[in-house]
Structures are given as structure tokens and as C-alpha cells.
Amino acid sequence: MNPHPTAHDIEQRMLALLASFLHDPDTVSHLGNGTTTLRTVREEALWSSAGGKRIRALLAYDAFHAISSGIHSADQGHAMSDDTATADQSMLDLACAIEVYQTSALIHDDIIDESAVRRGRPSAHRHLSDVMADRRQGSGLALMLGNTLATASVAIAHEALSHLPNTEAGTRAFLDMQHAVQIGQMLDLSLERMPLDSPKDLVTAAMDVDHWKTASYTAMAPLELGALAGGMEPVRARRLARTVGTPLGLAFQLYDDLLDIVGSSARTGKPTGGDIREGKRTVLLADALNLADEPTRIYLTRAFTSATRDDGTITRVMAIYEDTGAIDASRRRIDTLLDDSIRALHDSGLDAETIDALSHACSRVVPRTTNRGRSTSGSRTSPEHHDGM
């Protein structure tokens, strides 16, 4: 009755919403010079928005359907009405707004990390710097592109929410999501500065970053926004996001870190071992430092406090992650987090059908990494439905 949108549907709608939000360069500037710059940024806005897996939008949309079906079937039997169609379309737009915000966050993240590649093509600041043949100007335009997408995401969400239940709470939740990611980005910069001689603190700090920078908008906000749009009371929606979404979002990031080691470049759009090359301080690294013998710990510490890491170092670090059991430890962490998430869902007080639908939606975010877990993730054990932050 409600055909669920695909990643492709979401991307098409994102592009349409963005094209309608952005001013037409020809109406803004009186001169070719300004128009050309604005057109370049507009093209980059659309380019940057392409190629994601849209798991956040899909989770939000699925949560909306699970919750609203539950609420409606409790109220009354109902056929597909005009109202339902309007709500479906508005929810699609709200789901797109989360993805538009993600694009904004990724563009700023790449500026801060000086990353050259994103989703297999030049990052926005790098591409704009090339076009302008000026790094400062290109980075400045990318900063503004990120800001434009952040503002666009609020405008799209605000418009969509005006046709859905819990309009005010939804707008607040959307802004809370933005602020959470900002905090996560700041904590990430702080994590870079930590000494490596205290692996337990490193685990805590890396999990804090994963919580604020990733779980917030990957699982918590999609669940909260979908539930609010589906008619759930704000306090319950927030609790669902916290209890179910937090462990799910953390599992997502740990799985993303694993993929960087065991995934293939073609699948993730990033070269394998990229996190190691960038010196990223992951929970994997912290676990390896914890589990390693003294000479290996010294080797890891030297590798991650050097300015750069070459191919040989990356290969050796990947072997250390395997040999110390850090990879197995991450797999266990992921399974425990997924168990926590499912348990919280079963304790949520929702009816069995809604729980089942939400459980299925959550299982699309992170596949089970071992065979010991519950069967809720079904046959989805391949990591195809996955991209980075």
C-alpha cells in the first residue's frame, strides 16, 4: 500500500528539493563573474549530494511507517487517503533533509581533515580549489556550500514538518541533531590531541566521538524524526532514539571502522586502510593498543604519532589489528550494541507488529558481523548497505 522509496528515489527528491531551494544564479548576480562562481557552487551542491546509500533517510522513513501504521491500526482501520499521501510525501522530504544535512557535514569534515577524496571523487573543497585555481578561495566556497546545505536542510525539514504531527518538536529535534554533530566534530579534533599511552581513555574518547558525531544523525535523529512524524509523543520518541538509536548508531560506526580494514575499496569508495593512513584514532586502534605486547604497542604508538604512514606501515597495522584480536573485539562490541538496541526495542512498550517493523528497519543499518547474534538481521550480512560518516 505504501511503496517504500529506494535510495535512488531519495536522491532524486533530494536533488529536486535542493534545486528549488538554491537561488538561480542568473537572478542573483548582475555580472558574469559572480554568476559563474554561483553556478560552479550550485553544480558542486548537486554533485556532492549524489552517491550516498541513504541509509539515514531509509531508517527515518521506515520508522515513520512502522510507528504511524501502529498508531493508525490502533485507532481505526484506514484506507490510503489524501492525508496519507501528503504525509508520505512530507516524510520523504523530511528524510531527504537529514541527507542534505549529512552532505553539509561531510563537506565541512573534509575541509577540517584536509581530505582529498569523498565517495570516490574529489572532495568539495578540493574540487572547488581546482576550479578556482586558488586553495583559499576554493575552501571558502566549500565552507559556504556546507553552510548553504545546512540552511537548506532546516528549510526543507521545517516545510515538511508543517504537514506532519509534532511540528515544533520535530524542528527542535532537527536542530538538536545539527548541534550534536557540531559537538562530535569538536570532540574529534580533541581526540587527535590525546596521548596514546592510555588505551582505555582512548576507547572512551573514541566512543564519545562516535556517539555525538555519527550515532546522533545516523540512528538517533532518524528514529526520533520518523517517530515524531508518525505521531509518537515527543518524550517517547526521544526515549526511543536514545535507547534504540544510540547503540545502533555506535554499532554503525564501529562497523564502518571495520570495513576500512576488511572491506574493499570498490565497495566503500575509499582505499582500504584509509583510516590508518589518516592516523584516525578509532576504537580498533585503542583495542589493539590495549591487547598488544610491549614492542607492538611501541610500534603502534610511533606509527600513529608520525606525520604520515606509508603503505608498508598500513599493511603491518592491519595485521596487528587482526593478530591482537582487536578486530574480533570490535565484532563483539558490535554484536553487544545490536543486542542492546534490540532489547531496548522490545522493552519500548510498542506493539509486536511495530517492534517487528522497526527491528527490520534497524537491521538494514548494520548487518550482524558474527553468527552468534539473534536472527533479527535476517540474511543481510553483506556490508553493501553501508557508507562512511
Residues making contact with a copy of itself (CB under 8 A): 21, 23, 28-31, 33-34, 36-38, 41, 108, 111-112, 114, 132, 134, 136-137, 139-141, 143-144, 147-148, 150-152, 154-155, 158, 162, 168, 171-172, 175, 178-179, 182-183, 185-187, 189-194, 201, 204-205, 208, 212
CB of 210 to a copy of itself, least distance (A): 12
CB of 20 to a copy of itself, least distance (A): 13
CB of 181 to a copy of itself, least distance (A): 9
Residues in Cβ contact with 343 at an 8 Å cutoff, skipping those fewer than 6 apart: none
C-beta closer to a copy of itself: residue 83 or 192? 192
C-beta closer to a copy of itself: residue 241 or 357? 241
CB of 151 to a copy of itself, least distance (A): 5
C-beta closer to a copy of itself: residue 108 or 277? 108
Cβ atoms of 277 and 309 closer than 8 Å: yes
Q: Distance between CA 26 and CA 38 in Å, rounded? A: 9
The C-alpha cell at 93 is: 522530504
Phi, psi values for residue 384, rounded to 5°: -70, -35
Q: Are strands 121-122 and 117-118 parallel, antiparallel or unpaired?
A: antiparallel
C-beta closer to a copy of itself: residue 35 or 296? 35
SS3 121: strand
CB of 192 to a copy of itself, least distance (A): 7
C-beta closer to a copy of itself: residue 208 or 339? 208
CB of 153 to a copy of itself, least distance (A): 10
C-beta closer to a copy of itself: residue 71 or 183? 183
CB of 21 to a copy of itself, least distance (A): 8
Only one residue has cell 572547488, namely 128
C-beta closer to a copy of itself: residue 114 or 130? 114
Cβ atoms of 218 and 252 closer than 8 Å: yes
C-beta closer to a copy of itself: residue 33 or 375? 33
Rounded to a whole number of angstroms, the CA Rg of the chain reads 21
Phi, psi values for residue 121, rounded to 5°: -135, 170
CB of 10 to a copy of itself, least distance (A): 22
Q: Could you give the C-alpha distances from 86 to 57, 70, 99, 240, in angstroms and in order?
A: 17, 18, 20, 25
Q: Distance between CA 386 and CA 258 in Å, rounded? A: 12
Helix spans in the chain (H): 7-21, 25-28, 32-48, 55-75, 82-113, 124-132, 135-161, 167-191, 199-209, 221-229, 234-240, 246-262, 265-268, 274-277, 283-291, 294-305, 311-323, 326-346, 352-363
